[in-house]
Structure 1
Amino acid sequence: MISITTKNSVIHFNSTVYTELNTYIKAQNPSKIFILVDTNTHDLCLPQFMANLESGDIATEVMEMPEGEDHKTIDICMGVWEAMSQYNADRKSLLINLGGGVVTDLGGFVASTYMRGIDYINVPTSLLAMVDASVGGKTGVDLGVLKNQVGIISEGAMVLIDVSFLSTLPQNQMVSGFAEMLKHGLIIDAEYWHTLTHLEELDLSDLDQLIYDSVIIKNKVVTEDPTEKGLRKTLNYGHTLGHAIESYFLEHDAKTTLLHGEAIAIGLILESYISTKVCGLPNEVLDEISEGVLKTFAKIEFEEVDYKPIIELMKHDKKNSHGIIKFVLLEAIGKAKIDCEVPNEIILEAFTYYKAL
């Protein structure tokens, strides 16, 4: 697959990733190499990565953080910053983030702020990170249960996508990443959406191309609008409600914590319903979207008492302005509209629609 060049970075795929990585290290000659992993990728991915890394005489340190969204915090950043300082990391050090979206988001933030910025490379190991989290330069951590409230947009030197790492994932993590791919089709490319919702016509060998196509879509958007002034906002489709739902389920012990993609899948359906009321999305298209999402994602049960606190959490969404909640909605599959204001009663109707599916 042909490497994808972004404004400040390059995305390499499969057979080229280690050649490109080792060429980069030889040319840049970093003072030290730090590799950030979580408890899962330490065991499942690090051995393969280290077997292909050619660091020569450059000292290499592995730093391990706990696995999971609830550890995407400033406290973990503190631990990583302190470890790097203890091992004498300087401005010529390199940080390699080997993991899913939590590792690439947090690691990118750590690198972008340590000594006001050192080089970093993302090596995504989950489907979610490959098609979304590791591409585009968004880094950051959560503030309590509020998603990605603290962060910076700063691209790493490169992204290395080795699809073989997906074999280490449990099924629910594979499915989680699929939600972002569905979103890419809904906001930009109706043909891609159709392909993703008819996977019975494909086989596993098509996955590489689907991932590549999703990265192309995301890169096109972030290249045109790197700082999210306009078009890049469309990448938040399904996320205004999805993030609020994810946060709500994370903070309530009585709820089963949702993976990011599971929450976003709900958001895609809810915000598609809202689109019929606000942007004139045809009802038959809403039905197509709901059916397409539910082919992969199981319905999640809500109670009416859940709705108000979820809506309250949306007040912290980063697209909001002057205290007004701003949605990304659909006029048609492949055509999104940004900065839409939505009355609470329509949001409540959307939950009623979802519950009845």
Structure 2
Amino acid sequence: MESIKSHSYEVHLKELAEAALKQHIAKNDYSQVFVLVDENTKKYCYPVFLKKMDSEVGCVLEIPSGEIHKNIATCTELWEQLSKNDGDRKSLLINLGGGVLTDLGGFVASTFKRGIDFINVPTTLLSMVDASIGGKTGVDLGALKNQIGVINQPQMVLIFPEFLQTLEIRQVKSGYAEMLKHGLIKDEEYWTALKDEKNFTDSKCIKKSISIKNEVVLQDPTEQGIRKILNFGHTLGHAIESYFLDNPNKITLLHGEAIAIGMILEGYLSHELKGLSKLSLQEIKEVFLKHFNRVILDEEDIVSIIELLKYDKKNSHGDVNFVLLQTIGKAVTDVKVPDNLLHKAFAYYKEQ
């Protein structure tokens, strides 16, 4: 299975990933190799990963798992640990974990000593097909998603699908939502095949999703134009995720679970504003509700979620900018949406 070439790095899968890791470390005179893990990847993934390396790990850095720890306080702890363990500008940080860990680890590496090399080794489906690809790094500001960060590319991304066997099904489905999004924004044929695909963790499906995202990122690495289409479902989805994260009376939603709701809502907006057919809208709703339980949202919840939209990263000059669909497979960016339609979108989601 061929590697996927991005701007300054490659995404390697399976045996090629192991070979690329060994070759990269052998040819670079790193003063020290650090590996960042959480308690789950330390237990289930690190022993397996260690066997794939021909070199010693200088220090293992551990953070608690979960979005709640994706913040500057955790970064400060890691910067201090890197410094105490003699990290310098010739050190390498390997991020072994899901999207929270690769986002945060990439940001820590990009800012320590004004930037050290890092490699992403995603261990969840979500991080394999989305979070670890494209160079976005960063942390949350309180409950607000990804408010602090930089775009900085890793040395490489290494995909070992065997790590998916360590996950509960809920985590796997979270990544499936992002794979479905790739079809909706760029490839109707992929969407059609994937929505009924039971073996969506197959290497071919993973590679296809990575390729779609990579193709978009290559055209627009700093998100000035077409890369914005990757945010379909994320304007409302991120607001929902933040609201549930910050509300002790609510269950915490995984990223993909929140984005699935966001894609139904923004599918409705696409129908109202950009001509997405009623048939396509209904198909989108049915597919996501088939794989993700409907979440109860009362009017107070909806008002609070809409209020959070003002913090979205895509906003400009006080306007909230949405990514919507003209058809399945074709997205448009920078769409302004009237408030009354937002409430109608939530009503559509709640309809049985």
| 1:177-233: CA deviation from partner (whole Å, max 9, x where unpaired) | 011101100000000000111215xx47x7110000000000000010000011000
Shift of 1:295: 1.9
Residue 71 (1) aligns with residue 69 (2): yes
2:6 maps to 6
1:348 maps to 343
TM-score (norm 2): 0.99
1:321 maps to 316
2:124, 2:196 → 1: CA distance?
Answer: 22
Give the gaps of 5 or more residues in structure 2.
Answer: none
1:95 maps to 93
Shift of 1:249: 0.4
2:195 maps to 197
2:157 to 159, 163, 184: 159
1:264 to 251, 259, 271: 259
1:230 maps to 225
1:84 to 82, 97, 102: 82
Residue 273 (1) aligns with residue 268 (2): yes
Aligned identity (percent) is: 55
Aligned-partner residue type, residue 110 of structure 1: V
2:296 maps to 301
Aligned-partner residue type, residue 135 of structure 1: I
How many residue pairs match? The answer is 352
Shift of 1:333: 0.3
Aligned-partner residue type, residue 215 of structure 1: I
1:337, 1:4 → 2: CA distance?
Answer: 26
1:141 maps to 139
Shift of 1:345: 0.5
Task: State the 4+ residue runs in structure 1 displaced beyond 2 angstroms.
Answer: none
Shift of 1:54: 1.1
Shift of 1:16: 1.4
Shift of 1:296: 1.1
2:124, 2:178 → 1: CA distance?
Answer: 12
Q: How does 1:12-31 map to 2 (within 5 A)?
A: 12-31=12-31
Aligned-partner residue type, residue 252 of structure 1: N
Give the gaps of 5 or more residues in structure 1.
Answer: none
Aligned-partner residue type, residue 287 of structure 2: G
Aligned-partner residue type, residue 156 of structure 1: P
Shift of 1:282: 1.0
2:239 to 241, 244, 247: 244
Aligned-partner residue type, residue 98 of structure 1: L
TM-score (norm 1): 0.97
Shift of 1:53: 1.1
Residue 34 (1) aligns with residue 29 (2): no
Shift of 1:337: 0.7
1:242, 1:195 → 2: CA distance?
Answer: 24
